[in-house]
A and B are shown apart, each in its own frame.
Chain A
Amino acid sequence: MIEVQNLTKRYGAFTAIRDVSFSVAPGDIVGFLGPNGAGKSTTMRILSCFMPASSGSARVAGYDVFRESMEVRRRIGYLPESVPLYSDMRVAPYLDFVAEVKGVPRSARKRRIGEVMDRCLIADVQNRLIRNLSKGYRQRVGLAQAIVSDPHVLILDEPTIGLDPRQIAEIRSLIKSLAGEHTVILSTHILPEVSMVCSGVVIINQGAIVAQGPVDRLVEEFFPTARVEVEIAGPRGAVLEGLRAIPGVLRIDDGSLAGETARFMVESARGRDVRGEIFQLAAQQKWNLLELRPVGMTLEEVFIRIVAGEESEAVTGKPETSTEAVS
């Protein structure tokens, strides 16, 4: 549905994105993840036909964003990061304007706007001036204008920024419910959002893609180990010795606080479950096993590992081999 190849955008001497390539399958929700200034908005502006790329190509819904921009624009819904709305208009007339411009037929318009307002939970403010709306409502009006024409592809730049936790949950479930019939690409710098909402992720840093693929595969890729958190009421040194002796344990981090019981993070090869052996160890030594808990790898750690890896390589000047993109 979205195919991007070797996309590069330069502003004068500054290169905002370079050689960006990725693709999104129909019906998927893909998170575009990166720190601020990584080139997320630039990519989205090119995909939405707002500005051209310096080189490379992008196709949305089968049409080239530059040569067949009108066809692309008929099939997308776009929400820019700043949520630009006409502040002197009221919500319902504004949505009516957007629906008309986007070619929703007159007969279907009223019903469609009603549906979209219900879906985005803005029906209660439909007669208010947009300038008087709170950030959360503005965001949802912005989302409503993106989906009002029922487009094939949704391009959402930071759709949950500035919302309160309840609104974030609502918007996320709304976006999730759009999957299947719509293809969604959303940018964010909030990592849990990607794991919660998206099926795939594209990680971008300093204008270049550093990793992409399904979320769980990326975690496996960058964290080939499994971790278990252990708390044992016993002498710290002896516990550490015992844990080290277990075959398959690769690394142990001491997480205990002064004066407390021994608390360790045990890292082993993925697929090698050491929990049984830890229990046996405690039982043999007659230590009380207070906690034994597998710790999942979060996307956040993947992200930090990738971005930090990038930076240390930039310092030492080594080629980017360990962080090569997967697809």
Chain B
Amino acid sequence: MRIWPIYKKELRLYFTSPVAWVILTIFLAIAGLFFYAIFGNFTRVSMQMAMNPMGGRDLNVTDAVLRPLFANLSVILLLVMPLVTMRLFAEERRSGTIELLLTYPVRDGAVLVGKYLAALTLYGTMIAATLAYPAIVLWVARANVEWGPLLTGYIGLLLMGGMFLAVGLLASSLTENQIVAAVVTFGILLIFWIIGWTAEFATGTLGVVLTHLSILEHNDTFAKGVLDTKDIIYYLNFTFLALFLTLRSLESRRWNG
């Protein structure tokens, strides 16, 4: 499996073109703004509570800063992640480079995994940069950060992002138009984001199933510091299903005789 050269090439293309830099900048700017607003609010509330001898008891960084921050990051990712993956196959199809790539002695699976890992690396860089926020809480505000929920929160972010990327890769493999790929990715993710809302009107098993399918439903537990196998399996299932379908979509070129 020649994954490594594909991985290096994709990463190089991300960073020699403006794509990675623009995405990183915009993502961090918006995330920083959210953090500023949430943390500013937290300090203000803390000050008020400090006046009240009984207040401040239930106030902690995990619930008041990190959980809303992770929730907000998830929404930004919903918008940004389709842009990370849209070019991966669509651009190769549009420019014709896929014709060379798929006639090199490298399996479709290796191409897929190489591209996926490159996107995951860019995503990892994005969320690694957000570690600055808990660091600010810790060093600048000298507030206490709970390490457990912080760790699980990032595990959750990684799993969810991994799923977003897999869906994006699938959409990108289906079209040669990058905008179509991005819109389809965003559409699929948004539908699964809000599918739980319809569960309110569904009864019995259907309601349970719809709730389970919702991304939102599996998102918050990580930030609370809970590692639930149900949520981990949900994200991994979704990721592998999307990657499997992408592989089929790549192979389909060899089907139609």
Cβ of A36 within 8 Å of any chain B Cβ, yes or no, is: no
Partner of A50, one of B8, B99, B256: B99
Cβ of B148 within 8 Å of any chain A Cβ, yes or no, is: no
Task: Tell me, rounded to whole Å, the shortest Cβ–Cβ distance linking B126 to chain A.
Answer: 20
Are A82 and B254 in contact, with the CB atoms below 8 A?
no
Query: B residues bordering A, Cβ < 8 Å?
Result: 2, 4-6, 8-9, 12-13, 16-17, 95-100, 102-107, 253-257
What is the CA–CA distance of A45 and B255 in the complex, to the nearest angstrom? 15
Are A70 and B5 in contact, with the CB atoms below 8 A?
no
Query: A residues bordering B, Cβ < 8 Å?
Result: 45, 48-55, 66, 70, 73-74, 76, 78, 80, 82, 84-90, 93, 97-98, 100-103, 129, 145
Known: A78-B100, A89-B16. A70 touches B8 (CB 8 A): no
Q: Which residue of B lies closest to A97 (CB)?
A: B9
- Can you report 23 A-B residue pairs in the complex whose CB atoms are below 8 A from each other? A49-B103, A50-B102, A52-B255, A53-B257, A73-B103, A82-B96, A84-B98, A84-B99, A84-B100, A86-B9, A86-B95, A86-B97, A87-B95, A88-B17, A89-B16, A90-B16, A93-B12, A97-B12, A100-B5, A101-B2, A101-B6, A101-B105, A103-B105
- Cβ–Cβ < 8 Å partners of A97 in chain B: 5, 8-9, 12
Are B100 and A100 in contact, with the CB atoms below 8 A?
no
Q: Which residue of B lies closest to A78 (CB)?
A: B103
- Cβ–Cβ < 8 Å partners of B107 in chain A: 70
Are A80 and B99 in contact, with the CB atoms below 8 A?
yes
- Cβ–Cβ < 8 Å partners of B2 in chain A: 100-101, 103
What is the CA–CA distance of A90 and B12 in the complex, to the nearest angstrom? 10
Are A89 and B13 in contact, with the CB atoms below 8 A?
yes
Known: A84-B100, A103-B2. 5 other contacts (CB 8 A): A51-B254, A73-B104, A80-B96, A84-B97, A129-B16
What is the CA–CA distance of A97 and B95 in the complex, to the nearest angstrom? 18
Q: Which residue of B lies closest to A10 (CB)?
A: B257
Q: Which residue of A lies closest to B17 (CB)?
A: A88
What is the CA–CA distance of A103 and B2 in the complex, to the nearest angstrom? 9
Question: Across chains A and B, which 4 residue pairs bring their CB atoms closest together, nearest first?
Answer: A84-B96, A100-B5, A84-B97, A73-B105
Q: B106, B253, B257: which has the most chain A beta carbons within 10 Å?
A: B257
Are B105 and A55 in contact, with the CB atoms below 8 A?
no
- Cβ–Cβ < 8 Å partners of A90 in chain B: 16
Q: B13, B105, B256: which has the most chain A beta carbons within 10 Å?
A: B105
Task: Tell me, rounded to whole Å, the shortest Cβ–Cβ distance linking A73 to chain B.
Answer: 4
Are A88 and B96 in contact, with the CB atoms below 8 A?
no
What is the CA–CA distance of A89 and B107 in the complex, to the nearest angstrom? 22
Are B257 and A52 in contact, with the CB atoms below 8 A?
yes
Q: Which residue of B lies closest to A70 (CB)?
A: B105
- Cβ–Cβ < 8 Å partners of A55 in chain B: 257
- Cβ–Cβ < 8 Å partners of A45 in chain B: 99
Are B5 and A101 in contact, with the CB atoms below 8 A?
yes
What is the CA–CA distance of A73 and B255 in the complex, to the nearest angstrom? 18
Q: Which residue of B lies closest to A11 (CB)?
A: B256
Q: Which residue of A lies closest to B13 (CB)?
A: A88
Task: Tell me, rounded to whole Å, the shortest Cβ–Cβ distance linking B239 to chain A.
Answer: 25
Task: Tell me, rounded to whole Å, the shortest Cβ–Cβ distance linking B2 to chain A.
Answer: 6
Task: Tell me, rounded to whole Å, the shortest Cβ–Cβ distance linking A7 to chain B.
Answer: 12
- Cβ–Cβ < 8 Å partners of A51 in chain B: 253-254
- Cβ–Cβ < 8 Å partners of B104 in chain A: 73, 98, 101-102
Task: Tell me, rounded to whole Å, the shortest Cβ–Cβ distance linking B159 to chain A.
Answer: 30
- Cβ–Cβ < 8 Å partners of B6 in chain A: 101
Task: Tell me, rounded to whole Å, the shortest Cβ–Cβ distance linking A6 to chain B.
Answer: 14
Are B13 and A86 in contact, with the CB atoms below 8 A?
yes
